[in-house]
Amino acid sequence: MPETGCIPASLRDNEHDRGLFKETRPSHIGPSLGFLDLPPEIRILIYRFVFGYRTIHVRQVHRRRWRYTICKCPHVESSGSEYTMGRIWAGDRMGWRHARPLCDFDDSKHSDDRARSPSFGGSGNNNSSISKNNQQWPGEEKLHLSLLQTCKQIYSEASAIPYSDNIYTFVLARAFEGFLEQRHRGLSMAQLAHIRNVCIFVQPRGYMMEGWNLLLGDEPACLDALTGLRRLQLAVGPQSRIVHLRLPLGHWMELRLVYGLLVFGKLGISDISVDVGLCDRDGEDDEEKVQGYAEMLEGTLRGPWKGVEKELKQLRSSYLKELGSS
């Protein structure tokens, strides 16, 4: 009869079977290793896969209240992993510039976008803490932030990673404003300071662009909270299907239609990308013009802030004047 190291209690206590098994014990049992016994660099790597490397869509729920959704659409197989975009942004010096969310900002590509998203930041009057109401809703994945409350050491080592190692994407200006402003249940100043990667989807002649211009054109103080921002991507969407009739007339490539975006030049970000991969094209001429537009906008944002600020004010005056007369 083979020896066993573990005998079921029901057999061990049975007098008839007691002599059939021999319980053996190892002569020496070494100390058990726990998660905190791993080298720090290994723990950090694990934290990044648990809390980071995701694309997070921040959305408006009501007025300036916001919720988040982790981008995880059925087409993830084409890239091999849902972490692909986040890892490109984290490590590739140039590849991140044209690495867009897997969904291309098309909600229909998400498996179930009807469910309400979980809260990411603080709730109630305690906006600086991790939300205890970070609940999962059907069809959506959440960040398991409750793991940060396991112990003080894990919180100390990993609490910044959900902000520093994810990519935050915005379509609506009000969601962006609510995300940055604490009085609208945004994140704390310390959490915002850890954010490294932001992607904004814009359509220069779309109806949502007016909201971005009116918010950013006044150089909102809340923008100063992004002190740790390192990479900014402006993903320019197609213009052929969405036109806002109240916007000033002219070609969508005119800089005044996106004048509010120039305020990001105030932050002194060196890694700026204008991705035009989603723009409409009709032949080589359009391709050259679209690429020229991207280079123009990038160059403007990288210029000295005094010059950018002056141009912003001029474009803002022209935009509002024509908008008021339309």
For residue 68, list its beta bridge partners: 58
Contact 258, 202 (CB under 8 A): yes
Prediction pTM value: 0.79
User: Could you give the number of structural domains in the chain?
Assistant: 1
Task: Tell me phi and psi for residue 137, to 5 degrees.
Answer: -110, 155
pLDDT over 90 at 125, yes or no = no
* Residue 13 within any structural domain of the chain: no
pLDDT digits (tens, 9 = 90+) for 293-309: 999 999 999 999 999 99
pLDDT over 60 at 273, yes or no = yes
* Residue 30 within any structural domain of the chain: no
**What is the rounded CA–CA span in Å between residue 5 and residue 22?**
8
* Residue 68 within any structural domain of the chain: yes
Alpha carbon 109 to its chain centroid, in Å, reads 17
For residue 55, the enclosing domain spans 39-325
Choose among 288, 220, 296: nearest CA to 260.
Answer: 220
- The larger pLDDT score, comparing residue 159 to residue 103, is at 159
**What is the rounded CA–CA span in Å between residue 22 and residue 89?**
58
Percent of the chain with pLDDT over 90: 33
Tell me which amino acid residue 79 is.
Answer: S
* Residue 15 within any structural domain of the chain: no
For the chain, the first-to-last Cα distance in angstroms comes to: 93
Task: Tell me phi and psi for residue 199, to 5 degrees.
Answer: -125, 130
**What is the rounded CA–CA span in Å between residue 80 and residue 40?**
28
pLDDT over 80 at 317, yes or no = yes
Choose among 26, 46, 21: nearest CA to 35.
Answer: 46
* Residue 23 within any structural domain of the chain: no
3-state secondary structure 172-193: CHHHHHHHHCHHHCCCCHHHHH
Tell me which amino acid residue 183 is.
Answer: R
pLDDT at 212: 93
Of the candidate ranges 202-211, 248-257, 313-322, the one whose mean pLDDT is the lowest:
248-257
* Residue 2 within any structural domain of the chain: no
* Residue 34 within any structural domain of the chain: no
Percent of the chain with pLDDT over 70: 68
pLDDT at 309: 93
* Residue 164 within any structural domain of the chain: yes
Residue 209 per-residue DSSP state: H
pLDDT digits (tens, 9 = 90+) for 215-248: 998 888 888 889 999 999 999 988 655 555 455 5
